[in-house]
Structure 1
Amino acid sequence: MHKAESIYEDELDSAYDFPRSYLKALEAAVGDWIIYYEPVKAGARGYFAVAKIAQVIPKPGVAGRYLALIEARSYLPFDKDVPRLLNGQPFEASLADAAGAPLKGGAVQLAVRRLSTGDFARIVDFGLPQDLEWAEAHRYDKHAAGLQEEQLVFQRPVLERLVRRKYRDVAFSRRVRDAYDYRCAMSGLHLRNGGGRPEVQAAHIRPVEMNGSDSVRNGLALSGTLHWMFDRGLISVAEDSETILVSQNKVPVDVVKRLLRSNGKLMRPTDPRHHPHPENLRWHRENVFGQGVSDGKLLWD
């Protein structure tokens, strides 16, 4: 269970902060997958992400508290949040009475609770559909509906989807672009091609191969050109998490004026929970920005 305004220092894609009362349960979960859940009083999200626990350690400097460290590259937000109830019944069997009606109190209030394999698979299937890649590829195809029945024959197991890079890239891209309302965070432009497909791309701030996560907070929605420039260290974001930095010795002033917002500020998502994480931006400034271009000579029109 996670509250966005929690007093605990959770970083969902890296660590979960919890008290001693849940120590045995989380130690038993090391090496296994977990699902994040938002309690009723905290908001409407319900189940919203999945991750894998790598290790449990005492929280440095805080007696009686512990951290469940999340395995690198395992965190993945759901494509769509999963409601607490479906047709009036909980997704978790332990939260329902014999007739399937939701229980009150007891396990419902536990911040950490066990999920059966069936409940886990059912929640993940709802939040990360098996046909997500196909659905995205045909999202703007007027004839997609008639073809979907054939596609659904090819089922993929839950865990295979959670670790397969191609599937995760599609899920990450959909969530990041949606968070930015399909606008480029640096130009502010909302471009779509003739078929209605948005031209904006989802960029990892810290690359996956460098232990960057698939959290929306490790993503920026960027146009193709600005994505290319960001990945090659020609542009970045300052310590204020808002001011766009430009490698002045590599990018001409007139190019900057054409490509970036006039105020020089990053356009962030309306939901603060999706704002770029300052640590991810810091990593990019220190490890990518100003490091040069690796795939040839720069040509500016």
Structure 2
Amino acid sequence: MVKLVLLHKADSIYEDEPDVVYDFPRAYLKAVREAEGDWIVYYEPVKAGARGYFAVAKIQRIIPKPGVEGRYLALIEPGSYLPFDAEVPRLVEGRPLEASLTEPDGSPKKGGAVQLAVRRLPEADFARIVDLGLPQDLERREATRYNPVPDDLAEQNTPFQRPILERLTRRPYRDVAFRRKVREAYDYRCAMSGLQLRNGGGRPEVQAAHIRPVERQGSDAIRNGLALSGTLHWMFDRGLISVAEDCETILVSRNKVPGDVVARLLRPDGKLWKPSDRKNWPSPANLKWHRENVFGQVVTDEPISWG
């Protein structure tokens, strides 16, 4: 097995969905087959200023693309995709992070390997890129973000140096990474109430909800998340509310949720408040899954008090 860098362009002819599938031509089949069962890093160049490396994922298996001669699909292992907390530039202090893109004097190569959509990635390069995108101390950073640890306690909070792959598969770490990215994408505003509430210490009250739960083949992609207040998160997970086929109209289980509660909790226009960056809008496929598998179908013994 071998690790890879996979080039992704949102406006390309290839129908990628980074947390689900990577679409590629036959020319790269040998290299991608070598990475079957291993981790990859996604990279996206942007003309206005390179987005750079933006996520990791694991290739589960490769299949021919149905109905398209000469194209293949790398299926992403469910639950493996994780966006970087901070996107990583291709160059750091003028030097590429990939050895294959570096001249002997440390300067960046031009053309050739730089243009490849699939590049083999040595373990050391993979570790360096992941460390920059998903820092070891991410959990501590989040825990102390609005309540800094006093200097005399800082030494006690030195993070345990976990191996890269252990960090990528630990649920607590992934939950923190997911929460940070989803709340940031929604500007710390609840997608259904439109409110941007913070407590006295400046801590955002909004939570990050998975549209399709990880344990039911959902991912930690921003597009599988909604920023919601605690109450609306609870209602969403229990199928009392959802989002319509137009991906913006909020659906309410009217026989279970009183009208005055709807008026108090939801935006007056009944529409979803979405991120400013379109690439972070909720996935239509995941919203459809929630409508068909959760909305109006979750049975709970918990008493509902709308007082």
* TM-score calculated relative to the size of structure 1: 0.97
Give 1:78 deviation, angstroms.
0.3
- 1:87 paired with 2:93, answer yes
Instruction: Output aligned runs, 1:1-301, within 5 Å.
Output: 1-41=7-47, 44-143=50-149, 147-152=153-158, 154-301=160-307
CA contact (8 A) 1:30 1:54 kept: yes
CA shift, 1:146, in A, is 6.3
Q: Which runs of 5+ in 1 are unaligned?
A: none
From the superposition, tell whether residues 96 and 140 of structure 1 become closer, same or farther in structure 2 (CA, over 3 Å).
same
Post-superposition CA distance 1:173-211 (Å, at most 9, x none): 000000000000000000111111100000000001101
In the alignment, residue 66 of structure 2 is paired with which amino acid? P
**CA positional deviation for 1:294:** 1.4
Offset of residue 106 of structure 1: 1.1
SS at match of 1:114: strand
Measured against aligned partners, the alpha-carbon deviations of 1:90-117 in whole angstroms (never above 9, x if no partner) come to: 1111111112111111111100000100
Matched position secondary structure for 1:113: strand
Preserved contact between residue 180 and residue 268 of structure 1 (Cα < 8 Å): yes
Q: Find the aligned partners of 2:300 and 2:130 in 1 and give their Cα distance.
A: 39
Q: Deviations over 1:29-63 (max 9, x none)?
A: 00000000012448521000000000011000000
Q: 1:291: how far off?
A: 1.1
CA distance in 1, matches of 2:151, 2:83: 26
**What is the alpha-carbon root mean square deviation over aligned residues?**
1.3
Task: Report Cα offsets for 1:206-230 as digits up to 9, x if no partner.
Answer: 0011010000000000000000000
CA gap of 1:144–1:17, structure 2 versus 1, over 3 A, is: farther
| CA-CA distance at 1:153 after TM superposition | 5.3
Would the alpha carbon gap of residues 130 and 263 (structure 1) be closer, same or farther in structure 2, given more than 3 Å must change? same
Give the SS at the match of 2:126.
Answer: helix
**% identical aligned pairs:** 73
Amino acid of the structure 2 residue aligned with 1:69: L
Corresponding letter in the other structure for 1:175: K
Q: CA deviation at 1:5?
A: 1.0
Regions of 4+ moved over 6 Å: none
Q: 1:31/1:292 Cα in 2 relative to 1: closer, same or farther (>3 Å)? A: closer
Cα separation, 1, equivalents of 2:176 and 2:41: 19
Q: Which amino acid aligns with 1:28?
A: E
Cα distance change, pair 148–32 in 1 and its aligned pair in 2 (3 A): farther
SS in 2 for 1:286: helix
Deviating more after overlay: 50-59 vs 34-43: 34-43
Instruction: Summarize the Cα distance change of 1:166–1:107 in structure 2 as closer, same or farther, 3 Å threshold.
Output: same
Evaluate the alpha carbon distance shift between residue 40 and residue 263 of structure 1 in structure 2; reply closer, same or farther with a 3 A threshold. Answer: closer
Q: What SS does the corresponding residue of 1:31 show, helix, strand or coil?
A: coil
Structure 2 distance, partners of 1:59, 1:169, is: 32
The one-letter amino acid of 1:13's match is D
The more displaced of 135-144 and 99-108 is: 135-144
Superposition deviation, residue 244 in structure 1 = 0.1
Q: Are residues 292 and 115 of structure 1, via their aligned partners in 2, closer, same or farther at CA, if it must alter by over 3 Å? A: closer
**Paired AA for residue 228 in structure 2:** L
